[in-house]
Amino acid sequence: METTTLITEGGHKIVLKKSITGFEKQEITDEFLVAKDLTVKGKDGQMRPTNSIEQVRAIIKKGIETVVISVDGATDDIYNRVYNLDHNDTAEIKIAVDEITSTKKKSKSSLPTLEDFSPMDV
């Protein structure tokens, strides 16, 4: 497994996977699909995904736990360690996780992907 190191603005050393496997991507996507609740939103009557804040947090947690290997050398309780940092450091880490978990090449599939809904922006 190849890794990369991110030093946040606050000086925290974050070790991340450089990439994730198809199985890991599927686990994150599965978390999203379990959390997804389609409801009618807006005057146009279009179906749009809506998620409770708890569901969105579960998706973000899965992404962070999948990608982040250590926070300042600690390998346990990764999600809480990330969120106990200054909010700017947390945002840097979330951006890095989003870049790693995002599909680089668009597939020809008509099925929606995790990127279609961008839950990591929360």
Q: How would you classify the pairing of strands 13-17 and 68-71?
A: antiparallel
Residue 65 in domain:
yes
The pLDDT, as a whole number, for residue 55 is 73
Residue 50 in domain:
yes
Residue 92 in domain:
yes
Query: What is the DSSP secondary-structure string of 45-64?
Result: --EEEE--HHHHHHHHHHHH
Residue 116 in domain:
no
Residue 120 in domain:
no
Number of structural domains in the chain: 1
Domain that holds residue 52: 3-102
Residue 112 in domain:
no
The pLDDT, as a whole number, for residue 52 is 65
Residue 107 in domain:
no
User: Which segments in the chain show pLDDT lower than 50?
Assistant: 119-122
Measured distance CA(29)–CA(88) in Å, rounded: 26
pTM, full prediction? 0.72
